[in-house]
Amino acid sequence: MTRPLQKTKLDGTHYYRREAVEAEIQELATISAAELERRSALWPSTSQGFVSPEALVYFVRNLPAGAHRDKLTEQLLGRVVRRVPRTTDASGHTTSLTRMNIREDVVDRFVDLLLSDREGYDDRLDYYEVNFNSAIARDRQDASIRHWTHENRSDDLGSDEVEVSDRVEAAVGDCDPFDADELDKRNYRLQLDDAIDSLPEFQRRIVEMLRQEIPIESKDPSIASISKVLGKAEKTIRTHRDKAFASLRLRLERKGRM
């Protein structure tokens, strides 16, 4: 007997798995762990013995902790990734930072739900046992709206000119958002995180990498640099860094932090 879903609809009735999924789970419960792992790795969906993502979610949620569950979890996360558009071209180069962020958001949300479910039943995962592809599509849409809106948000300080304007230079001043003394203060760190999240996507990526002490440019080809990762000229990176710092200064000053 499969464990019933606990999530309820607006009318008070419980969600339920499709009959085909219920039958599949019953059949899969009779095979060995090794065979279930083998079949869970099959792709594409037309492969003989393919395990539906709904059934895979069921087993990942209900098996005891151990290597077997870990292997099925790895296969399940692979299914999530397959439902999100690629962010690289044929050569493996990233073609869109925003699409990469959308992809990461969808995967991160699913991982968070799995972890939450392991601490205590999380009925938000029930929908993935009802219609996995639809649930991931909804997550992808939510992440897309959030990130594309973020990317298209108007820069607080004006246009995206490569040359740094006098206004931007004046706004930056001696601003150092990563001042060690300030970072020791928890409230400041929280406000800084919020301010960074509000930046246009390209600027946010630069600031996050600076925070990790990744250099803007490096003559050593073995050292990763912001310029190399983002595929932009050093001058462009510095321009957007200054705009980001100026924006952070304005935001933090409004909160009385700088």
Q: What is the pLDDT of residues 138-164, one digit of tens each?
A: 898 888 877 766 555 534 444 444 444
166-254, CATH topology level: Arc Repressor Mutant, subunit A (1.10.10)
Would you give the end-to-end CA distance of the chain in angstroms?
Answer: 61
Lowest mean pLDDT among 53-62, 146-155, 195-204, 240-249: 146-155
Give ranges for CATH 1.10.10 in the chain.
Answer: 166-254
Q: Which residues of 146-178 are buried (b: 16+ CB within 10 A; e: fewer)?
A: ebeebeeeebebeeeeeebbeebeebbeebebe
- pTM beyond 0.75, yes or no: no
